[in-house]
Amino acid sequence: MSELNKITLQNAITEFEITANALTDVRKNFTEEIEKGLESPAETSLKMLPSFLTLPTGDESGTYLALDFGGTNVRVLKIKIWKRGNYKILKKTESPLKTAGKFDFTAATATGEELFDFIAKLIELTLEGSTDEIYLGHTFSFPSEQLDLANAKLISWTKEFKTKGVEGENVTELLTKALKKRNLDFVKPVAVINDTVATLISSAYIRENILIGSIYATGHNTCYFEPNYNGKEMIINLESGGFSKLEQNSYDKLLDEKSEKPGEQLLEKMVSGRYVGELYSLVLQKALNSEKLFDFSSLDLCNIAQNIDAAKIIEEKAEYAPKDGETALFVKLAANILTRSASLVAATFLGIYSHTKKLPAVAIDGSLYAKNPFLQDIIADNLKEADIKTFKADEGSALGAAIAAALAVK
C-alpha cells in the first residue's frame, strides 16, 4: 500500500482555502466584466449572449415538446402549461448519452448527425404515435450564438464533449434534418435556449422577482435579466463558466492543462460537478505518489466533506486506508474544494447584483446543487448579508423549454 505524504495533503488543503478578500475581488471583477461585456463582449471572458427572450408574463399556456440536452442525459418531455406556475408532464423519455461498451455520443468518434438521429428517435418515442403538429422548445446547454429565438450556432463544446460536426453549426438545422429523416416534420422546433435561461424563465413563471438563473451541475453557468441591453430588456446568458479573472492554484492549472480545452472555462473547472472530483483526485494522486488515475465523483466529495463514509470511500477509490487522524485531513480537503466552489458561485451572483443594483432572487438548478444541502447552505450564507434569496428550480430545463416555445408562438 502507498505511503501518504501528509505535507502535500496539508499544502493542498491550504491551496483550496478561499479568503473573504479573494471573494470580494471575484465579485468586483465579475461586475467589471459584465459592464465591459455589455459594451464589447469580445474583450471580456464573459460571452454575454443575448437570448432573444425577456421574462414571461405567467399567462403562457399550451402543450409542447421540451428537449433537454446538455449534460449526462438527454430528455424529451411532453408538457402542458397553463397560467402562472401550473404544469403537467404528460410523457417523459430519457436516455444517457453514453453507455459503456455500447455507445458514446459525447466522444470524438460520434458525429452530430448520429447524435441528432438518436435524439429524434427519443422524440418519436415521446410522441407515442401522435402525428398532430406540436411546437418544440430545445434547452441546449452549451455556449451558443443565438441567431434568433429559433436558431443557435454552437460556439464550442464544453464539459469535455467532443462530438464531431456540431461546433459552428446551427443546432436547430441539425435537429430539423434528423426529424425529417424520421418523418417527424410535424414537430416544429421554435425555440432554442440555454439551460440557465430555461431555469430563469421557468422560475419567473412560478414566482416573482427571479432575476438570475443558474446551473450548478456537471457544468456551471448563470444568466440574468438585463433591463438595458441596447435600450431593451433582455435575458443574457453570461457563460460565466468561462470567467477567467481568478487565482488558479497549482491543481487548477494541472487540471486545465490536461483538459480538452486548456485555458477555457476556468471558473467552471474550479466549481462544477464535472471537475471538483477530478481536482480531489489530482491531489490524492500526488499525496499518495500514485501512477494510477483516481476517479472521485462530485457525490463522493460531498459525502467525504460531511464525513459520511469518508475513510471507506478513500479506501475504495484510492486504495489507501487512512490511519488514525488522517481521515480528518481527507475530509478537510473535500470540504475546502466544495466550499471554494459554492463561495465562488455566490460571489458571481453578488457581482451581478452590484451591476443591476436591483435585489434579485436567484433560481438554481442542477444535480450538484439539488442533491446537496451542504452546498445550498454555503451559497445561502454567502448571500445572506446582501439579503439575496435562492430557490431550487424544479424541472427548470424542461419547463423553461416549454415556456420558450409558448413565447415563440405567442
Residues that bind ligand BGC (CB under 6 A): 70, 141-143, 158-159, 194-196, 215, 217, 219-221, 239, 241, 268
CA distances from 132 to 65, 76, 127, 183, 186 (A): 12, 17, 9, 12, 7
DSSP classification of residue 3? P
Q: CA triplet 143, 78, 55: central angle to 5 degrees? A: 50
In this chain, which residue has its C-beta nearest to ligand BGC?
A: 219
For 339, the grid coordinates are 466550499
- State which residue, 158 or 203, has the beta carbon closest to ligand BGC: 158
Instruction: Tell me the closest approach of the beta carbon of residue 394 to ligand BGC, in angstroms.
Output: 16
CB of 157 to ligand BGC, least distance (A): 8
* Residue 190 CB contacts under 8 Å (≥ 6 apart), including other chains: 135, 136, 137, 149, 150, 405, 408, 409
DSSP per position, 336-351: HHHHHHHHHHHHHHHH
Q: How far is the CB of 90 from ligand BGC (least distance, A)?
A: 25
User: Smallest gap, in angstroms, from Cβ of residue 319 to ligand BGC?
Assistant: 31
**DSSP-derived secondary structure for 366-408:** SHHHHT-HHHHHHHHHHHHTTT-EEEEPSSHHHHHHHHHHHHH
Of 78 and 274, the one with the shorter C-beta distance to ligand BGC is 274
How near is the Cβ of 325 to ligand BGC at its closest, in Å? 38
**Complex with ligand BGC: residue 267 or 402, whichever CB lies closer:** 267
Closest of 265, 305, 301 to residue 280, by C-alpha: 301
| Maximum alpha-carbon separation in the chain | 66
CA dist list (Å): 56 to 149, 160, 211, 326? 14, 33, 12, 52
Tell me whether residue 327 or residue 391 sits nearer to ligand BGC (CB atom): 391
Q: Which residue has the cell 427548470?
A: 396
Nearer to ligand BGC by Cβ, of 220 and 317: the residue is: 220
Contacts (Cβ under 8 Å, ≥6 apart) of 25: none
Least distance to ligand BGC, CB of residue 274, Å: 8
Nearest approach, Cβ of residue 240 and ligand BGC (Å): 9
Residue 243 DSSP one-character state: -
Which residue in 317, 294, 307 sits closest to 338, CA to CA?
307
Nearer to ligand BGC, 159 or 317 (CB): 159
Closest CB 75 distance from ligand BGC, rounded Å: 13
Identity of the residue, 267 or 383, whose beta carbon is nearer to ligand BGC in the bound complex: 267
| CB of 13 or CB of 212, closer to ligand BGC | 212
